[in-house]
Structure 1
Amino acid sequence: MEDSFIQLDDLPDEILTIILKKLPNYQVLYSLIDVNERLDTIAQDSIFTSYLTLVPCRNDLKQFTNRMLHRFCDKILPIIGYKIQWLNVDSSFMDRIFLSTIYPNLTGLGLYNVALETARDLFTNTSYFIHIFENQLSSLVIYINEREEPRSSIKDINIFLFTQIFAMFNNLQCLNLNPFDLRVVVDSYEDCLYLLDGRFNKLNKFNVTICSSNVPSLPLINNKKKLSNLKCFLLRHKSVLLVYNTFLIPLLHRMSNLEELSLYFVNHNTPIIDGNDLEMNIMNYMRKLKKFKFNIRSVISLNNQVYLPSHEYIQNTFKNLKNNQIISCIDYFPKANEFHCHIYSYPYTWNYYDNITNNFHGGLFKRVYEISLFDERSFEREFFLKIAKSFPCIEELRLHNREPQKNDNQQWSIIEYPHLIRLDLVQTHENYVEQFLNNTKVCLLNDIDLRVDYNTLQRVAGNFTSDATRINCSKIKCLFLYNEPELSLDLKDYFPLAKIC
């Protein structure tokens, strides 16, 4: 037929099906439905109809035309609507697609590129969308289009959507809401507990990020209802967790049927969390747990500490976790008067790795794009070579180290960070600023965002005349200066491509 994506020969059905599975389902349906009886039968197989995506990719924009949409709504969807179990839809097509036919077996729905106003209208009590799907959806994915929207508006719509969705969709088991990288973002411990107070007892997966570390002035919500249908729980705490025993442990004890658990937090002011603690307080309450991934840093004061555990002791506490590879790291920081114990499961599954010290064990972390480096001992060149090798895909690096390097004049091979685009050197000794800006030591990409103290930068760059740092400085796209006086012509000439902030 005209505009067909593919041309077919007289192949057996089995071979033809194998070939067609290489194509997106919507292309198969558009090209084969209503051509002839044989191709109709193949195209209407559940392989091509049970899961359908009608969201154009960037390189498909010209192909996904109004003519194609018209054919789907008039010809194709009325034929296969009863076979569709999961449907992904772009918001611009939403009304035409939903009203073109009925979807009696649809249990999963993805809504993409949804504007804030559209989201508000869609989830009101009088919406046709609610009337059609409120009793049949068990899984719902929503991608809010947050471009050019203020963060406060996104937070407001988050609250509205949660309130409406959980109140209206009686059979909902899984919700992914994305203004923040597919995570439910809440401000406080109380917000998390309100969402898990038992009224949405059919949820089986919950992914939450808690932003604030403020300890509630009032007692935490007294809720002991079991979350018996919850199979997967993922928690990240962006600040410092101060209520491990009073918030997190009681919450986890309500999830006795969990099969997958992921925890990421920094813990203050409680005993060190090690393998014994995790086994006694968490795993013993979750007999069905199959996957347990964690990244936990315990921080305690060195004051009045009679005994502090060794690395060997911490590692030995995980002897019963035979199916997991556990990495532990011990650090003492006399100036901060702190002891840190960092434990995490490996392979590492997070996209960020914070507070890497000289005791870093190495390894390969291909999924990590953001790292921060911190220590009270100097970072030498060997350390940065290890970082570059262990994190080949990093895009953002933050460095906090005030100690001068001991061997900064040694000759080494050039260190490369092939994907680095954001570099924060504000809280560093000038040795590290010089290292990253000297092209004989570090090779930077073009279009780097650099944050740095103005006085440190001026010294390292020889009052913006040094040739040693000129090449890397010419690659800076945005220069964020701290303690900056009035901008000089020398500075602007030294960073010819940079927007100076």
Structure 2
Amino acid sequence: MIDVFHSFMDVNRRFNRLVFDSFYIHDLNMTTIIDTTSLYDQTSLIDPKVLSRICEKILPRIHDQIYKLTVEEYSINQILTVSNYPQLYSLSLINFQEEILYQYLTDNLILRDLTKQITHLNIDIKETIEHCSEIGSKIFTLILSLCKNLIVLNFCHMFPTRNYFPPLFYLLWENCIPSNLIKLKINVSTLVDCLYLLDGPLVCLSTLIINVSSTFCPLEYINPTKKLPKLKYFSFTACNYTTDYDDLIVPLLCRMINLEQLKLYLSVVRSDSTYIDGTQLYEQFLIYMTQLKKFTFYITTIVSFRTVRLKLQSNEDIQRSFIGRGYQQVASYIHSKTFSSNGKCHIYSLPYDFEYFVNLDNSFQGGMFHKVRQLKMNDVIPFENKLFKLISQNFPFLEFLYISNDYSQKDNQHSSTLITFPYLKFLDLKWAHVDYTKLFLLRKNIRVPCLSNLSIEYKSLITITNNFTNDATQFNFDKLKSLDVFAPLILMITFSLVTWRNIRVAHRRVHPASTISSMRQRDFQLTRMLVAEVVVYVLSTIPFPVYSFYSSVTMSINKSVDQQTIEAFINFIATVFMVYINPSSTFYVYLATSKTFRVEFKAAVKNIWHRVLRRNQQRQPLNEPTMMLATRFL
């Protein structure tokens, strides 16, 4: 819409009628973000001159005709201050940092006044490094208290690839007035947050669409038997594996006695049990939902035997369990060759009604998945070309593909028909063998004409490009805008050695007459700095991959609440080391290991201090005692 305003306004009367047509004005999008892919292109912000022209020439003429408005962080202040919007009932705040959004909701009087009239609000927040920040929960509470007439709220559930999951267990419901909210779409951190929402002041809530990052729940149920009679529509998504299906999720579903529509997307790990099938779903909670009209689901079950060995169902047994219980058409398949488990079973209702498909493996049987935009593949058996051909046919509108497989292909024969992913925009190959890198990035193997974002391991990139010497036209790089390279430790060591060598050469050129002892001393300090940096890097990053490996190996083990709490704390410590200590350690390492660095740092501080003193002297001359004190300090 911004391009339309900028290009056609005041060209002639016909174009003016087009620009100011109510069809465009009623729902006004003042951002450059039109889909999920736009989130990755942060260079496409609104041109300040274009924005100023729109705010000065257009918004004052149409402000009373705008019903829906979408703004982003960089333009909200200018758009809101130019005029009032008396007919506005829907507001979308897109691509905000949580601190800035919280500041706007707290201090911006225009926005606070606007929240009193809107009935529909959409919030999108950028990912934050600090996963357990309280700001997200404060924003949510503030919205409920400010928006008195709010009926529909989408809180951080606008884009499927956005990984912002605010923890809401910081909320103090005692200070919240019961809300008139009817529909809520939300991303949350844990299952605890889901329980807090359902047992909080949202007394009128009839539709809840929730995406949970982790189902880890260290707390007891707040009201484990309290019924939820007003809830009519419930959609629950938890793509990460959970061991709490039987203990937490099933009891939660049993409380929804008047539910009319249910959507479940679950990845479940069970010990000493069987696959989840139609009989279990019916007997565990569906039998209590007497008003249920539609049940849509995708459930993956991983089973491991620890103390008891049971006979697992066959795929025919799974299919028979859905007969005669009112289910619609159901697809299923079983994968028996898995890592550290006895089997994996996939069951899902047809037609497939989700935008994502995770945990796809070599046992995939095919089918049509027109709605799927995001696919994640993983297996301990190599993915062969025929599987990718099947995927390209069965997922025709796929945009995001994640491949996790460390095993080389056994059959790399290519079919006569070229495999094409016409809409694929994001490809993640960080955890994939180099064979899959060759398969997807070489034009002769697979065509990906829209690929704009690539995540890849550095070693694989070096291999397929022959150290960046191959002809670029051989690759699917035509529209590539973003390259995320996963560089191994050896790369850091190599760069350090090259830096060390270049500085030695520079010292010899600049100070040819330096004594051998002074040169050796500088070289020793430089070597010590680089070695210390590598050591700190290793020590600060190794806890996280070690914990990740431990989690994957013990994923199917049934753990106590205390053990889960301890592991969650260890994960927090490992994340802190990798995210905070590693990037901030370089300065302190150099300061501790190099005398030359300390001298130069001290000189830089003195230089800055002298500049500040001279600037102050120019503004207001110092008296003699003050000058003596400053001189003595230095």
Q: Fold match, TM over 0.5? A: yes
Do 2:60 and 2:83's aligned partners in 1 also have CA atoms closer than 8 Å? no
CA distance in 2, matches of 1:417, 1:158: 37
361-370 vs 469-478, greater mean Cα deviation: 469-478
- Aligned residue number for residue 165 of structure 1: 143
Question: Out of 445, 452, 456, which is 1:451 matched to?
Answer: 456
CA positional deviation for 1:405: 3.1
1:176 correspondence with 2:154: yes
Change (3 A) 1:321 1:387: farther
- Aligned residue number for residue 205 of structure 1: 207
AA partner of residue 444 (structure 2): T
AA partner of residue 478 (structure 1): L
1:194 correspondence with 2:196: yes
- Aligned residue number for residue 353 of structure 2: 349
Q: Deviations over 1:285-322 (max 9, x none)?
A: 22222332211111111555331101111112122465
CA positional deviation for 1:470: 7.2
Which protein is richer in strand relative to its size? 1
Do 1:241 and 1:266's aligned partners in 2 also have CA atoms closer than 8 Å? yes
Do 1:190 and 1:221's aligned partners in 2 also have CA atoms closer than 8 Å? no
Question: Out of 60, 71, 83, which is 1:70 matched to?
Answer: 60
Do 2:31 and 2:70's aligned partners in 1 also have CA atoms closer than 8 Å? no
1:53 correspondence with 2:54: no
Do 2:385 and 2:413's aligned partners in 1 also have CA atoms closer than 8 Å? no
CA distance in 1, matches of 2:338, 2:440: 28
Which secondary structure state, in structure 2, belongs to the residue aligned with residue 388 of structure 1? helix
Question: Out of 370, 373, 386, which is 1:369 matched to?
Answer: 373
- Aligned residue number for residue 249 of structure 1: 250
- Aligned residue number for residue 288 of structure 1: 291
- Aligned residue number for residue 474 of structure 2: 471
CA positional deviation for 1:465: 6.3
Do 1:413 and 1:441's aligned partners in 2 also have CA atoms closer than 8 Å? no
Which secondary structure state, in structure 2, belongs to the residue aligned with residue 211 of structure 1? strand
Change (3 A) 1:123 1:373: closer
Question: Out of 140, 150, 153, which is 2:120 matched to?
Answer: 140
- Aligned residue number for residue 237 of structure 2: 236
CA distance in 2, matches of 1:227, 1:371: 34
CA distance in 1, matches of 2:434, 2:278: 40
Change (3 A) 1:435 1:53: closer
CA positional deviation for 1:95: 6.0
CA distance in 2, matches of 1:132, 1:432: 51
Residues 23-38 of structure 1 mapped to structure 2, 5 A cutoff = 24-25=22-23
CA distance in 1, matches of 2:99, 2:284: 44
- Aligned residue number for residue 262 of structure 2: 261
- Aligned residue number for residue 35 of structure 1: none
- Aligned residue number for residue 512 of structure 2: none
Higher-Rg member (1/2): 2
1:434 correspondence with 2:438: yes
251-260 vs 423-432, greater mean Cα deviation: 423-432
Do 1:201 and 1:228's aligned partners in 2 also have CA atoms closer than 8 Å? no
Do 1:110 and 1:140's aligned partners in 2 also have CA atoms closer than 8 Å? yes
AA partner of residue 203 (structure 1): L
Do 1:261 and 1:291's aligned partners in 2 also have CA atoms closer than 8 Å? yes
366-375 vs 336-345, greater mean Cα deviation: 366-375
- Aligned residue number for residue 622 of structure 2: none
Which secondary structure state, in structure 2, belongs to the residue aligned with residue 333 of structure 1? coil
Which secondary structure state, in structure 1, belongs to the residue aligned with residue 220 of structure 2? coil
Do 1:166 and 1:200's aligned partners in 2 also have CA atoms closer than 8 Å? no
**Uncovered stretches (5+) of structure 1, i.e. residues with no partner:** 9-19, 28-51, 78-83, 490-501
- Aligned residue number for residue 406 of structure 1: 410
Residues 6-155 of structure 1 mapped to structure 2, 5 A cutoff = 24-25=22-23, 52-56=26-30, 66-72=56-62, 87-88=68-69, 90=71, 91=76, 92-94=78-80, 98=84, 108-113=89-94, 119-120=101-102, 123=105, 139-144=119-124, 146=126, 150=128, 152=130
Q: Deviations over 1:206-240 (max 9, x none)?
A: 22222224341x42333543332222222211422
CA distance in 2, matches of 1:226, 1:26: 44
CA distance in 2, matches of 1:470, 1:127: 54
Q: Deviations over 1:1-53 (max 9, x none)?
A: x9866899xxxxxxxxxxx9x953465xxxxxxxxxxxxxxxxxxxxxxxx43
How many residues get paired?
Answer: 431
TM-score by length of 1: 0.71
Q: Deviations over 1:157-202 (max 9, x none)?
A: 4312321233455665432123753852222222221121142111
1:420 correspondence with 2:424: yes
**Uncovered stretches (5+) of structure 2, i.e. residues with no partner:** 1-9, 35-45, 161-184, 496-634
AA partner of residue 279 (structure 1): Y
CA distance in 2, matches of 1:219, 1:406: 49
CA distance in 1, matches of 2:201, 2:225: 12
Change (3 A) 1:158 1:403: closer
Do 2:70 and 2:94's aligned partners in 1 also have CA atoms closer than 8 Å? no
CA positional deviation for 1:331: 0.7
Do 2:330 and 2:349's aligned partners in 1 also have CA atoms closer than 8 Å? yes
CA positional deviation for 1:381: 2.2
- RMSD of aligned alpha carbons: 4.1
Do 1:175 and 1:205's aligned partners in 2 also have CA atoms closer than 8 Å? no
293-302 vs 249-258, greater mean Cα deviation: 249-258
Which secondary structure state, in structure 1, belongs to the residue aligned with residue 416 of structure 2? coil
CA distance in 2, matches of 1:335, 1:117: 42
Do 1:325 and 1:346's aligned partners in 2 also have CA atoms closer than 8 Å? yes
Change (3 A) 1:423 1:368: same
CA positional deviation for 1:411: 5.2
CA positional deviation for 1:338: 3.2
CA distance in 2, matches of 1:185, 1:441: 38
438-447 vs 151-160, greater mean Cα deviation: 151-160
AA partner of residue 27 (structure 2): T
Change (3 A) 1:478 1:70: closer
CA distance in 2, matches of 1:381, 1:403: 14
AA partner of residue 212 (structure 1): S
CA distance in 2, matches of 1:67, 1:409: 61
AA partner of residue 176 (structure 1): N
CA distance in 1, matches of 2:14, 2:327: 48
- Aligned residue number for residue 13 of structure 1: none
CA distance in 1, matches of 2:325, 2:245: 22
Residues 211-222 of structure 1 mapped to structure 2, 5 A cutoff = 211-216=213-218, 218-222=219-223
